[in-house]
Amino acid sequence: MSLGKVHGNKKVWRSFEEARKFTRSLKLRNQTEWNQYYMSNKDGIPKPDDIPSAPWKIYKNDWNGWID
């Protein structure tokens, strides 16, 4: 289990499990849809500041791809 991590300028990220739970609730299917959401929000749902734009980098020990 990954806890929130500090990266770059000491940003504290949401845990992998919590970030995945939130992202799954959006029903995004792939990286293209994630990028569109991240840039403009989906259905007015704002992106939390504690979820990274490149989750595969921040959660590299837990990341299993977009299907996960």
Answer whether residue 9 shows pLDDT above 70: no
> Pick from 1, 53, 2: which is nearest to 23 by CA?
53
User: 12 - beta bridge partners?
Assistant: 6
For 15-58, what is each residue's pLDDT tens digit?
999 999 999 999 988 899 988 888 887 778 888 999 998 999 99
pLDDT at 66: 84
